[in-house]
Each structure stands twice: as C-alpha cells, then as structure tokens.
Structure 1
Amino acid sequence: MPAPTHPRPHTETLANGLRVTLRHVPGLKRSAAALRVAAGSHDVPLAWPGLAHFLEHLLFLGTERFPTDEALMAYVQRHGGQVNASTRERTTDFFFQLPVSSFSAGLERLSEMLARPRMNLDDQLREREVLQAEFVAWSQDPMAQQQFALYEGLPGEHPLRGFYAGNRDSLQVESSGFQSALKDFHQRFYRTGQMTLSLVGPQSIDELRELAQQFATALPAGDKIAQAEPLPLTVKSYQQVGAHANLLFAFDGLPEPSAEAMAFLCHWLNNAKPGGLLAHLQRQNLADSLKAAPIYQFAGQALLHLQFHAAGEHLNAIHEQLLDWLSFFARQDWTPLREEYAALLQRQQQVSGALQLARIDVEQKESGLSESGVAALAHILREIGGADNFSDHWHLPAANPFLRANEPLANAGLIRGQTSAHRGLRTFAQDRSRSRRERSPMHFSRALPDSSDEGAIYLRWQVDMAASADLRSRLQRSLRQTRQDASEAGVNLSFSAAGNQCLLKMTGLQEPMPSVLEHALKCLTMIDADSPRDEVQIPSMPIRQLLEALPEKYLPPIETSDDAKQLWTTSRWDGLALGLNQQTQSAMGLALSRIPGTPDNQLPVTPITQGQYQWSQINTASSEHALLLICPTASRDIADEAAWRLLAQLCQTPFYQRLRVELQLGYAVFSALRQVHGTTAIVFGVQSPTASAAILLEHIQAFFNGIPAMIETLGDAGLKQQSQNLADQFNPATQSNKDAAELLWQGKLAGHSSDYREQLVMAIRQLDHQALLAAAQRLINANGGYHCLANEPMPGAPWQAAN
C-alpha cells in the first residue's frame, strides 16, 4: 500500500495553557481548525438544562468587532469554506475550513467570538425561539426519539437520562439566575485550560504554531478544571425493542485506552464477511443488519450500543449468538486484525481533507490498537462476559482485497518489443490505441493533473426502463460489502438510480480503483429476483427527505422494471475519469470491458424546462412544514451560471438572517447553489413547525424582491470583492480534487467542453452590476421556472403538479 503521507501531529501546550496539535500536510489545498472545549451539556447546573447548547448558538451571533455579516459563519460561507459546531455531553466543538489565504482571518473571528460574545437580551430571546423550533422538530423526529429512548435502561439519576437540548421553558433568559449561570458557565469553561486547538494545513509547523499563538492571545487564560464525575451506571446490560432491536452494555471503571479498544471491537463487530457475527445472524434469519458503536464515553464510563434490524422476539437468540462470537473473538490472535485495522486507518487519513484531519486530532484518536489498547479490549470483553466454550463455525474475516497494493505494471505505457529507451517514440499501434481511447465513452480527461494519489471515476447508464424501488434496494444491497471494503481502502463508492439514469461514482485513492470497479460491476450485474433487499431505514427529518428526493425530480418519468437483466442489457453508458495516471488507466482495461450495456459517447443532455411552476408533494410522515424551492437557470449558458453562482453566494447569509433569525420561521433554513444532472439551480430550503408552505413561499418571494436593492448597496468595490471570492473557490491551488471532479462531471452532463472550469472563472470575473441585476430579475420572474418540493398539497395557480 502507499506509504502514509500524514505523520502524527505535533503537540504542545502554549504558555497560557492552551493545548495545541499542529499537522503539516504539504499536499493540502485548504487549512482547518478544530477547537474542543472540555465542557458540555452535563456540566450545566441542573436548574438550567440546555444552557451549554444555547451558549454554543449565541457565540455565532457576532461580536462588537465582527457583527453578524462579518462574523465567522458569514466569513466562511463567503469564502466557500465549511463551518459548524456541536455540543455533546462533556465537550463542545467548533470547527471550520478555509483557503490558506483566508485562514488567519477565520481564526481571528473564532477566538473573538469565544472570548467576547455579545450575548445581549434581544439576541438571546430570538435564539431561544430557534432552539424551541429545534425542540419541536426533535420531539417529532423518530430517529431522535429512538436515540433518547436508548438511555431508558440506565438509572434515573444518571445525567444521560436528562433533557439537555433546551427549549422555551428551560431557557429562562429573563431570569437573573439564568443570566448569572450563563455568564458563570462561559467564564468557568471558555478559557485556555479547558481548550484544545487543532490546526491542519500545508503551512509549516512554525507557521501553524504562530497562528495558534495569535489565536490564544484573545482568550482568557486559566487552568484546567476537573469535570465532575457522573454517578455510576450500575447496570451491566439491557435490551430494548422499538423500530430496531437494541442491545446495550454499560461499563464503569474502564482503563484509559478504552476508547481505542471500543473502536477496534466495533469495527470487527460491524464486519459483514463470512464467519462473522452478522453473516451468521443473516444465515439464521435472525437479523438483517448490525451497527455497533459507543454512544457515550467519559471518565471510564461507556455505553456500547448494538442495533439490529430484526424482530423483537429474536433478541434473546441474537444476544446468545453475540456472547458466543465475543468468546471466540476474545481467544483469537488479534495481530493480523490489528495490522489491517492500522492500514485502513492510515488509508482514511491519506484521503482525509484538512477538516477531517483536524477533527481526528482534536479528538486524539489513535492510529490503531496500541499494546495498552489490547489490554483495555481484553478488560472490556471480560466485562461483557461469555462462555469459555464457543461454536466452531466462527472464523476471522477475510482480508480486505483493496488494502493490498497492486504490483506495478512492468514498463507501464510500453508495447511489446519496446524498452524504456523507446519512450516518446510513436507507433501506428499506439496511435490506433490512443484513437480508440479518445473515442471511447469512458473519457480519460486531462482537466485534472495525474500527479496526485487521488482520482475520480464517473460511470453513467441511460436506461429504457427505470429501476423500481425494489430493484434499487437490491442493487444497493449487492454493493454493501464492496462499498465498505472500498471505503476502508480510501475509495468512496456510491451508486444511485433515479429516473432514466444510473450512476456509479468513485472518488479517493486511485490505486485501488480498477479493482474496486471490477468488484462493483460484478455485484451490480449478478443480482436476481431472490437477492435480498436493503434494510428499511427510519425516516430522516423532513427537509433531508426532500433533499434526498431532489435528484429524481430533474429526470423525465419513465416506466419501471424489477428485471435487473433488462435494466442493463437495454442501457447505454458513458463515463468520465479524472486525475488518473497512466498506470491506473492501463489497469482499468479489464473492468471497462465488463461494463454492461451499449457504449455511447453521445448521450443526450437533460432538457431544461423553462418558465414552469412545478409542485411535487413528498410524504415525510411529519407534522412539521418543509419546503425546497429550486430555481434553475433559464439556459445552460456559462454566463448565466456565473451570475447564478454569485447570486447564490450573495443570498446565503441574508436569507438565513431574514428567515431564521429575524422572522424565526424555523431552525432549518438555508440557501445554496446545487448542480443536479447538469442543471444549475439555487435551492432555498426551510423547515418550520408553524408556517405552512404557502406562507413560506410568500416570505421567500419577498426576499427575492429585495435582492436588487441588496445588489445596489454593494458598490463597485464590494461586487469586485464578492466576484473575486467566488472565482478563488475554483482556483486549482485551493479547490479539492473531489470538488473539481464533481464540477467537471456536471459540466459534461450540461454539454460543456473540458475547459468548463476556466470558462466559468472567466465569466465570474466579467460580471458587473447590470448583469447581476438582470440575473436577479430572472430569478424573481422565474424565467427558468420554479420547482417546489414540499410535504404539503399544492396551492393554486400558477403551480402545476410535476410529472
């Protein structure tokens, strides 16, 4: 396998007590920061549940120095980065990623908001309503309720049994006692001794250390405070039956390396290969799926959750088989498993971006199972218990085939009879081979350099009859093991079927890709009517269900079929490969010869529907109102797309500010540019506990009407800066290979040439006020049409039901 490219991070404690981890990764195009505060929901006074989560929200509302439109969230969005935060039981995390040139300013805003939050009463009252909307959605979300119910077997006085999200009743912001507690919590925990900062980027360790020292300057110094230990869990294990069958194991007094031991154990519990627990449960028709994960770990305590897609009456039998497998596992030589586990963690780091690495470092995750972790694992297995004897049908899983490096091709790129001395000489045979390759429906693009370890492959089929829901389920199920093995080897493999199109996509390390592609094609083409279906999923929150349904709404409806053979034999296919070197291209020969269907390098572009008001109702099984308004460009002209992208960037923060903060319509409010099947659109989304779809549409239309005035206030300098920020996001020096590959694939679907990215950047830089105002008017007039996805019936004219 490739040598690991990301060494362990440098760690140190600064003079003021801030612990920092610094990781220099030369190949990264962006930098990231992750800050962990050793304080969470369980550290809040019992009188004020939700206070920690509330404070996390308040910190994003801006400071005197950086008001809302210049605060961290707006700044990161304006520069095409990522930002978020999370409050857990004993920690609160803040993290963001930005281009290197903008990173220092992002850190400055993060330190300012942590040290000097504004926290005035009006802000608090508004934000409390946002948390109230979150609480209403949470109380109606089956997944959230199931997660909360998992703790019901624990002692009633343990903090895991409490409510800590916060709502209108628990967040009594008008109370002087609450204000005192809020101020005390911030002063007590938001200081250097309670914080760990992780910085990752292409900068040198010295440069990262200087950034960390600048960041720490604004923070109040203080020693680390010992967080109060929770009451004992006391129970050993319990069962629970709901939408899934659940087994839970509780631990007290675990040794320090128990987190890495628990991660190692869960990895092998989740392995679905023959000889393991899941394969046996499936063979015995006891369970269809298994997901094992620790859902709580702190101060030697842990709660291990095993979720099975199984009937409740099978849970006792499942428990017996689990203990039998654990007895087998406890008595094995873990050496080969530890080696493979370490190899896959290295692969994961090799393909991780700056933000993922920063989060790994701030969580202090190990790169494998250490010797002390082995002892901790043995302790955990003894705590769970099991028989001294075990069944003889268990065995360790086969090695991941994609983790083993392929042998380099001898004299790659040479034909028979040549030697390395002939490199650069052309032959008629080579010309014919190259000509065939260039006419092939699998286009090996040179738009991305092949000097990186990473690449991307897109393989698309256009079908005469769409895969039915049942067939889609079987196709997804057929790929499950290949997808898991590929992910562990650094390749993200996905398959989707919508309307008249199927798409197989791979991104990540290119070296395993030819082998992954071969396995995936074999899986997809060997299913039959008796192949098992995928497990039933618990519905996600309504706005996410609408987003999941979005791709299919862009394709023409056609008849469906349950026949996999018919799906492939009547299909036509093409594809795009990006960033692949000559060796990987050569190794793909066998896989390309096995692609089902008829090769076709002239598949038609998805047509644009102009000026239509289309409505699609999606049943989300929720009383909350959810709506997506999709606003596509009126043409596929690159100038139109450039204007649409700048409009999307300008609208992002004001739309959130207007509908979420000022109008308080709901907590799930966003706008973003999306490309789906080659169509470019701005998507506006809202989930509200109170406002109907019709009312939400009125608010969105009112926002649209205010866009021209917002553009006018920019001024020439402001517009130039916004255009430059947007153009910088497509700079090859800062755009990730994965994002660049997706952009170029969407360009291919839209019928653009291979220099699409360069043309787009040029069009963005040429935008002026007149062009942007004209685009805003096209948005207001729905020149490209509106398509609304909602979980409510269609209102009256001008809306029409989508096909």
Structure 2
Amino acid sequence: MPAPAHPHHLHLTLANGLRVSLRHAPRLKRCAAVLRVAAGSHDVPLAWPGLAHFLEHLLFLGTEGFPAGEGLMAYVQRQGGQVNASTRERTTDFFFELPEPCFADGLERLADMLTHPRLMLEDQLREREVLQAEFVAWSQDAKAQQQVALLEGLAADHPLRGFHAGNRDSLPVEREAFQQALRDFHQRFYQSGQMTLSLAGPQSLEALQALAQPFSEMLTPGPQRPQAAPPALMPGHARGYRHLAGNHLHHVITCDAPREALEFLCTWLNASAPGGLLAELQARNVASALQATVLYHYAGQAVLDIDITLGTQDESATQIEALLYDWLSFFAQSDWTSLRKEYALLTARQLQIQGALALARHDSEDLSETAVVALKAMLDGLPLSPSQHAWQLPPNNPFLRPAVKEERAGLIRGQTSAHRGLRTFAQDRSRGRKDVAALTFSHALANDGDESALYLQWRFAPCGLEAALQPLCELARQAGVDVSFETVGGDWRVKMVGLHEPMPAVLDALAQRLSQAQQAPADSTPMIPIRELLKALPDCCAATPSSDSEVSWSTARWHGLGLGFPATVEAAIKTAAARLPGQPSTIKHVLPVFSTQRIWREVKTASNEAALLLFCPTPSQSLEDEAAWRLVGHLLQGPFYQRLRVELQIGYAVFSGIRQINGQTGLLFGVQSPSESLEGIVGHVQTFLQQLPTLISRSTELGNQALAQQFSARALPLAQASELLWQAQLAGHSSGYLGELQQLIKTRTHADLLNAIQQVNDAAGGWLYVANGPAISESRHPTN
C-alpha cells in the first residue's frame, strides 16, 4: 500500500474578512463546500424563537438571479450531488457536494442565496407551515423529547433549555416587528466577517483559493460581530446530574474543557475492549451499551452526556455511577502516552478516508498539550476517589497497523524453495479447505487507489447478529473500513467499503466472530414513520422470504463480490474468506415480480402521522428500460418536491428518485404528512404521475448529459460505484454495466421518456405501497 496521502490544508482570511479553510486531496472524486455563519438559534431575539431556523429555510426558496428551479438545491440535485443546511445553537451551516466541472456554479448560487434572499410574504407563510409540520413531528419524536428531558437538569435560564425549532405561534410573519427582526438578523450576521468558507476537492490549494475569491466578492462585506456569552450552565457550584429515562441512565457532566479533549475522553470511555468500563458493566449484566458524546460546546462551556443502556440485572444507578467514577479515577491517574499516539493514528486515518463533504466539514483540532492539561484539570475537579478496580487501558487497534506478512506461498514454516516438491501432512490437510469460487473480483473499477469494496451475501444464515458485531465494526471504522449489514427476506448482506490495506484482517476477524456471535435484539428506539418505512422497504420487496425453519451456519450458503482490489490484496481476501462460516456457492438470485399488481404492505409505526412509500419497479431488467426510468427520475425529482412540499404543503418529508433494492431498479416516492390522510397522499402522487407526460413534453432539455456523467466510473466515489456494480450483478448485468448505462442515458429521447412514464402509470412493473396504515379503499387502487 502506498504511503497515505493526507490532505494539504490552508487557512487564510480574505480582504473582506471572510475566513477560508482549504483542503486539497488528490484522491477525491468530488468537491465540497461548507459555509458556516457564526449565528444560530441562541442568537435570535427572545421574542421570536425559531427565527434562525426559519431564515435558513427561506434562503433556499430562490432569488431574482436564480429562481427556485435554478437555485442551489435544484441545481445540485440535477448534477447528482448532495445539499443541505443545519441550524445549531450558535452556528448555521450550508453545505453541498458536486462534481468538479460544476462546482463553481454551485458556489455562485450559494453566495447569491445568502446575500439576496427574496423574503416574500407569501413564501414565508408557506414555509412557516413546513416548520409547523416539523414542529409537530419533533413534538412526537421519542428521541427529540428524550433530549429535551435530558437537558432539564441545566440552569433554567440557559438557552439550551429553550424552544428554538419554530412553529406557527413563534413565527408571526404577518407582524411588522417580526419582519424587522428577520431583516435585522440577516443584515447583522449574513455578511463576510461573520462567515467561514471551507472547500475540499482534488484541485490544488491555489485552484481552491481561486474559487473562494469570487465567492467572497459576492458577499455583503461586514465586520465580525461578537455573539453574546450564555449564562452559567448550572446554578451554584453544581457540575453534573443524573437523568434516568426508561432503560437509559444518563450521567451529565458540565465543564469548560476544550472539545478535542472531551472527544479524546469519549473515545476511551466508549471503547468495548476487555478491562474497560463497558466490558465490566456488561460482565455484571447491568448495562448492554455505553455512549459518551459532547452535546454542546461554546464559549468555554461544554456538556458531556454519558448514556448507559441498562441491562437485565437490577442494579441501582448509584452503583453503576460508582463504577463510572472509579474508571474515571483510574483514567485520570493513567499515563496517556500510548493513548495519545493511538488517538493521533485514529484521527489521521479518518482524514485519509473522508469524502469531500466530510473533509470540508472537518473542524476538529489535534489533541494539543494545552487540551491534555485542561482534561486533567477537569477530571481532577470531579469528586473522584482512588480507583478500587483492576481496570485496563484499551489495547491498540490491530487494524490500524500493517498486517504481518505471510510466508511465501506454497511453503510452510521451516521450508525453503528446495523443499517445494515435498508435501507435508499439513499441506495435505489444506487441500480440504473451502473453495471460494463463489467470491468473484470485478475489474470494472480501477485498482490503483487505496480504497476497495467487498460484498458478502448469505442465504438462510442466522440473523440478529449485528449487535454482537458492533465492537468489531467500530474498530474497523476507526481503521478506515465501514462495515454495514442488511437483511432482505432470507438473505443477509455484509458490506465493507474503505481502505483495502486493513480489509483482509477485518474479514478474518469477522469470520472468527460470526460463528461465535449470539443473537441479540436490535435497538428498538422508534424512528419517525417515513424512516421506519424505508427500513422495512427492502424486506417488503424480497423475492426470497424469510425462513420459518431453524437456520444454522452448517446449511447457510454465501457468495460475494470484490471491487477495486489490487492483486496482492485479492489473494489475502480469498485466504480470509475461506474461513467464513457457511458454504461458498453460486446463489441463484431471483428478482421479485409484481407485474401490473398494486400491492399494499402495512408497517406499524409509533407515530400516527400518515407516511407512505410508493415503489414502482421497471417492467424489465433491460438496460434500455433502466436508462429511460433513471432519466425520468432525474427530471421529476425537483417538480415532485416543488408540487407536494412547496405548493401543496402536504408534508415536510417529500422525496422521489431511483432506488435499487436487491437488484431491482425502480422509482421511489415518499411522503410523510401531519395533516393529510394516506388516501389523500396517494391521490396527490397519482395526480402528479398523470401530469408527467405534459411535464416531459414541455421540457426542451432532458438533462441526458448531466445524468450520464454521473455514471462515469472515474468520477464516482467508490461507495456509490461499488453499490451500483453490486446491484448490477444481482440483476444479472455484465461488468460493463456502468459504461453501457451511460451511453444509453445519453441517447434517450422524448419518446423513450413518454413511453417510460406510460409504463409507470400502467404499473407495468407493478406498484408496491408501504404505509403505516391499512390499504385505502378506492377501487382505482386495487391491493393484494
């Protein structure tokens, strides 16, 4: 593996006061921008809670220069990128990721929308209803309400205790006083001195700086304005409290330690290695999980939450906290030299594998000596007694270091090449090892980089193992390999994406742990309905049903696909794969057939808000159909959002696009509404689909080239390219799938698209509804 190419970094301040952070990483396939405004929810006048969040929404509604259909969101979506914004306590972030050729156009739109918002009253009235819908969902979301309850231990006058999301009552847009406050907030904070622009991409630092300069010149110039300091986090000398909610025990600590110091502490608190706090709690059956996070950090104030998921053994919170403080005492008195070296490796590895957007958002500081001293002081300030337990510091992550090289192929220890013709009993036994012909390696992606992807899929394997494998997944993530799982009917999939150097060792460890892993219940914390439906969708599409009979590794079969591996790593992957449980086998993959059926699947959710997914599979597996349907999805994404979310205001979770599920390509529509019924949502989606022929007929530009360029193997980030090729293999396509699809997209015509839309409306490939209520009764929507 070549020496890691860490991003080159440059900080500078431009003439108008705009602070700029530039990261050049040649390995990146895309560019990203993050614009941070030093103003958030806690900076608005007390009379208008939610004003900052409201303004963030309004800025996306278009300007005179770039109306909504040509604004940043629509433009980025057309180019296959990603875009969003986030309002936090003291900052507001706007961010997007795009291919390099159109990055400058994205920056122009971002600067324009920040500087020249229309703030039309009719737009505000519509957008306020969106925030009202989000508020209703927030008030019903279990996690959100748990967070509100958790912060009730803080001082009553601290803004963390306040309401900041915004709703119909807190945003009286009809009042002139509110309009003046909105304009004043924008004028005060949305100017160059209050902003930081972070750019990341494959371009040189000089090229990135050349992009930042015209961006800064479009902004309103202004000085850096100080933000008001918050009141004390807690009254008096209190520095923490306990919060018990259901099966979660939260220990909250307030302090003034630097964020990088607290992140260092959280890393080792969360470690699951033997000898650590979590391992001890699990051994006593008093806790099943522990997650320490920094909830808030601003102006020398920090809130650290240590969330302990209680186990089956009934032990008091006082006893659990005694163990927590005993570990903190041990940690405070330990020599951190080895941990600091390990932490430096961890942070360097994350910089090595982060994508463009994550890299642009990266604002963590290295662990300085000053931060270490501050952390020591914070721990010394806690009521700690000398440790009474035989704790151990976590060992080094084995995946962060190069694996020990194996001896020359064909030889055993003690042999030389002179013995090559001689056989041994050990070598005779090796002839019985598993044949891994079921694991194939595709060369559709270049193997000259540092990253690769590996897909493994079992049929009728034991399920519910994800929780037991989480410690391994965390170690792999730290080393630059993302490991994820998915269950689809009777199939179970493991995906590894990231640096290929540690991947054989991760796979070897997975092979060992799969046979030993015990089934455990997954996290049962309810999600908002639309997320619950998306989680259930793959299983609803499964052609291979879950097995009712008992399954075991002895009868399980598996196959796999590797992408982007150099030959030397391929060999190591094959060696590790030979140890996987189950039998390697060529598994016949059967795609679901809906053919003109309209099927309704009901999924129970915690909330009673209406939520619905409509999945429309292509009528065939031909690439011609897929190309036409992808172009339809490309064209309707913006209009669908505009019609249902902006104009009709029927929901705040509104989306559409192409989705591939276990080899099946189709159009997916999703809506969650606080006011509309399932029947009403279905009607709106149906009406939109029936109007699509008119939309296509009026389109002078179909966007063939913009969509086609998104399927260039050289331009696609590895995670996206590998997922497309895995889905292509499941669908029975050749390894030339990306190139063939790209060419077909380029040549699609109006007639091809109109034919595809007719196929959608005729349910030629079937319709699958997944909803959180019973099937609607309209005869024009038959269900099976």
TM-score (norm 1): 0.92
Quote the offset at 1:537 in angstroms: 2.8
Q: Which amino acid aligns with 1:676?
A: I
1:397 to 1:438, Cα distance in 2 relative to 1, 3 A: closer
Native 8 Å contact 1:574 1:601 kept in 2? yes
Native 8 Å contact 1:409 1:583 kept in 2? no
Match of 1:746 in 2: 727
Aligned pair partner of 1:482 in 472, 475, 491: 472
Q: Which amino acid aligns with 1:647?
A: V
Match of 1:458 in 2: 455
1:509 to 1:185, Cα distance in 2 relative to 1, 3 A: same
Quote the offset at 1:597 in angstroms: 2.5
* Structure 1 stretch displaced more, 372-381 or 39-48: 372-381
Match of 2:645 in 1: 660
Match of 1:334 in 2: 336
Match of 1:265 in 2: 265
1:232 to 1:785, Cα distance in 2 relative to 1, 3 A: same
Quote the Cα distance in structure 1 between the aligned partners of 2:513 and 2:222: 57
Quote the Cα distance in structure 2 between the aligned partners of 1:194 and 1:412: 61
Aligned pair partner of 2:673 in 682, 685, 688: 688
Aligned pair partner of 1:319 in 314, 318, 321: 321
Quote the offset at 1:222 in angstroms: 1.2
Determine whether 1:778 maps to 2:759: yes
Determine whether 1:354 maps to 2:351: no
Match of 2:370 in 1: 372
Quote the Cα distance in structure 2 between the aligned partners of 1:271 and 1:562: 37
Quote the offset at 1:439 in angstroms: 8.7
Native 8 Å contact 1:277 1:325 kept in 2? yes
Identity %: 51
Quote the Cα distance in structure 2 between the aligned partners of 1:664 and 1:486: 43
Quote the Cα distance in structure 2 between the aligned partners of 1:759 and 1:357: 32
Quote the Cα distance in structure 2 between the aligned partners of 1:503 and 1:661: 38
Determine whether 1:726 maps to 2:707: yes
Match of 1:425 in 2: none
Determine whether 1:65 maps to 2:65: yes
Quote the offset at 1:568 in angstroms: 2.2
Match of 2:744 in 1: 763
Match of 1:679 in 2: 664
Q: Secondary structure at the residue paired with 2:455?
A: strand
Match of 2:248 in 1: 245
Quote the offset at 1:8 in angstroms: 4.9
Match of 1:422 in 2: none
Quote the offset at 1:493 in angstroms: 0.7
Q: Which amino acid aligns with 2:132?
A: Q
Aligned pair partner of 1:398 in 391, 395, 398: 395
Match of 2:543 in 1: 556
1:540 to 1:101, Cα distance in 2 relative to 1, 3 A: same
Quote the Cα distance in structure 1 between the aligned partners of 2:656 and 2:382: 48
Match of 1:516 in 2: 506
Match of 1:25 in 2: 25
1:222 to 1:706, Cα distance in 2 relative to 1, 3 A: same
Q: Secondary structure at the residue paired with 1:223?
A: coil
Q: Secondary structure at the residue paired with 2:520?
A: coil
Native 8 Å contact 2:151 2:161 kept in 1? yes
Quote the offset at 1:380 in angstroms: 2.0
Deviations 1:118-167 (A, max 9, x none): 11100000000000000001111111111111111111111111100000
Query: Unaligned regions of 5+ residues in structure 1, if any?
Result: 420-435
Quote the Cα distance in structure 2 between the aligned partners of 1:493 and 1:499: 20
Quote the offset at 1:758 in angstroms: 1.0
Quote the Cα distance in structure 2 between the aligned partners of 1:130 and 1:414: 68
* Structure 1 stretch displaced more, 531-540 or 371-380: 531-540
Deviations 1:186-233 (A, max 9, x none): 000011111110001111111111110110111111111111001111
Determine whether 1:604 maps to 2:589: yes
Match of 2:426 in 1: none
Quote the offset at 1:417 in angstroms: 9.4
Q: Secondary structure at the residue paired with 2:31?
A: strand
1:47 to 1:448, Cα distance in 2 relative to 1, 3 A: same
Quote the offset at 1:24 in angstroms: 1.0
Quote the Cα distance in structure 1 between the aligned partners of 2:553 and 2:330: 43
TM-score (norm 2): 0.94
Quote the offset at 1:800 in angstroms: 6.1
Quote the offset at 1:557 in angstroms: 5.8
Quote the offset at 1:440 in angstroms: 1.4
Native 8 Å contact 1:29 1:99 kept in 2? yes
1:605 to 1:558, Cα distance in 2 relative to 1, 3 A: closer
* Structure 1 stretch displaced more, 315-324 or 631-640: 315-324
Quote the Cα distance in structure 2 between the aligned partners of 1:557 and 1:585: 30
Paired residues, number: 763
Q: Which amino acid aligns with 1:372?
A: T
Q: Which amino acid aligns with 2:649?
A: Q
Match of 2:628 in 1: 643
Quote the offset at 1:601 in angstroms: 2.5
Q: Which amino acid aligns with 1:455?
A: S
Report the aligned-residue RMSD: 2.2
Match of 1:433 in 2: none
Native 8 Å contact 2:452 2:500 kept in 1? yes
Match of 1:539 in 2: 526
Quote the offset at 1:560 in angstroms: 3.8
Determine whether 1:569 maps to 2:550: no
Query: Unaligned regions of 5+ residues in structure 2, if any?
Result: 419-432
Q: Secondary structure at the residue paired with 1:629?
A: strand
1:457 to 1:107, Cα distance in 2 relative to 1, 3 A: same
Native 8 Å contact 1:632 1:785 kept in 2? yes
Quote the Cα distance in structure 2 between the aligned partners of 1:397 and 1:63: 54
Quote the Cα distance in structure 2 between the aligned partners of 1:314 and 1:643: 61
Quote the Cα distance in structure 1 between the aligned partners of 2:743 and 2:552: 41
Native 8 Å contact 2:544 2:590 kept in 1? no
Quote the Cα distance in structure 1 between the aligned partners of 2:775 and 2:145: 30
Deviations 1:268-308 (A, max 9, x none): 11111111111111111211111110111110111111111
Quote the offset at 1:383 in angstroms: 2.9
* Structure 1 stretch displaced more, 510-519 or 71-80: 510-519
Match of 1:309 in 2: 309
Determine whether 1:595 maps to 2:598: no
1:413 to 1:196, Cα distance in 2 relative to 1, 3 A: farther
Native 8 Å contact 1:727 1:765 kept in 2? yes
Q: Which amino acid aligns with 1:709?
A: T
Native 8 Å contact 2:7 2:352 kept in 1? no
Native 8 Å contact 1:605 1:751 kept in 2? no
Quote the offset at 1:801 in angstroms: 5.9
Quote the Cα distance in structure 2 between the aligned partners of 1:50 and 1:93: 16
Native 8 Å contact 1:498 1:555 kept in 2? yes
Deviations 1:389-414 (A, max 9, x none): 11232111122111111245678999
Deviations 1:565-596 (A, max 9, x none): x3322222211100001111121233221122
Q: How does 1:381-392 map to 2 (within 5 A)?
A: 381-387=379-385, 389-392=386-389
Quote the Cα distance in structure 2 between the aligned partners of 1:607 and 1:664: 34
Aligned pair partner of 1:343 in 337, 342, 345: 345
Match of 1:426 in 2: none
Native 8 Å contact 2:557 2:587 kept in 1? no
Deviations 1:333-353 (A, max 9, x none): 111111111111111111111
Quote the Cα distance in structure 2 between the aligned partners of 1:295 and 1:313: 27
Native 8 Å contact 2:612 2:769 kept in 1? yes
Quote the offset at 1:249 in angstroms: 3.2
Quote the offset at 1:81 in angstroms: 0.2
Native 8 Å contact 1:35 1:198 kept in 2? yes
Q: Secondary structure at the residue paired with 2:310?
A: coil
Quote the offset at 1:483 in angstroms: 0.5
Native 8 Å contact 2:491 2:544 kept in 1? no
Q: Secondary structure at the residue paired with 2:305?
A: strand
* Structure 1 stretch displaced more, 314-323 or 653-662: 314-323
Quote the Cα distance in structure 2 between the aligned partners of 1:2 and 1:593: 27
Match of 1:428 in 2: none
Aligned pair partner of 1:447 in 440, 444, 449: 444
Determine whether 1:274 maps to 2:283: no
* Structure 1 stretch displaced more, 535-544 or 129-138: 535-544
